[in-house]
């Protein structure tokens, strides 16, 4: 498969699935070779391999979108991407919370029905998701002296 594009490449989803299915059925790695034209000169990069396995993985990836060098920020979003379709959805957006800082969210046993994240600043606290119902937990209610940072389900 040859792909061309200005700056970045987008592989149509059907072609992507065909490529992966073919690699699995033939038990072959995919070799990626990049040839880029930079300032009028062609650069050939060393090829690398993608190994595609028959094993399944969780189809969702969650992450925090924040500017590089995040000591100072303007926009923070917690997002989720379906890795089979590349569809993305925003879980939380700090533009809706007076630009408060929010940390990455944590799942209980990789279960999307049980998760939480911490929101800092005025009105901050821990936002708990249980089966799609959101509840904010007051971080000072049980005598905590400061905000929380990272959490864990035990």
pLDDT of residue 70: 64
Q: Is 86 exposed, middle or buried (0-12, 13-18, 19+ CB in 10 A)?
A: exposed
CB 97 within 8 A of CB 75: no
pLDDT of residue 118: 84
pLDDT of residue 144: 63
Domain ranges of the chain: 13-50, 60-137
CB 115 within 8 A of CB 106: yes
Question: What are 100-118's pLDDT values in tens digits?
Answer: 888 867 888 888 888 888 8
CB atoms within 10 A of CB 46: 6
pTM for the whole structure: 0.65
pLDDT of residue 23: 95
pLDDT of residue 67: 80
pLDDT of residue 145: 63
pLDDT of residue 140: 64
Map tokens 């925003």 to a residue.
90
Closest CA to 66 of 77, 82, 81, 53: 77
Regions of the chain where pLDDT drops below 70: 70, 104, 138-150, 154
């Amino acid at each position: 498969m040859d792909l061309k594009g200005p700056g970045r490449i987008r592989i149509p989803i059907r072609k992507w699935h065909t490529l992966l299915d073919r690699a699995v059925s033939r038990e072959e790695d995919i070799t990626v070779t990049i040839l880029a034209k930079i300032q009028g000169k062609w650069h050939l990069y060393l090829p690398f391999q993608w190994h595609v396995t028959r094993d399944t993985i969780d189809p969702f990836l969650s992450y925090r979108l924040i500017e590089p060098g995040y000591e100072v920020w303007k926009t923070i979003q917690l997002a989720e991407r379906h890795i089979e379709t590349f569809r993305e959805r925003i879980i939380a957006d700090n533009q809706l919370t007076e630009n408060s800082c929010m940390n990455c969210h944590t799942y209980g046993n990789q279960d999307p029905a049980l998760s939480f994240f911490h929101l800092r600043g005025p009105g901050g606290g821990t936002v708990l998701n249980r089966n799609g119902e959101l509840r904010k937990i007051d971080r000072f209610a049980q005598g905590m002296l400061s905000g929380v940072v990272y959490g864990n389900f035990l």
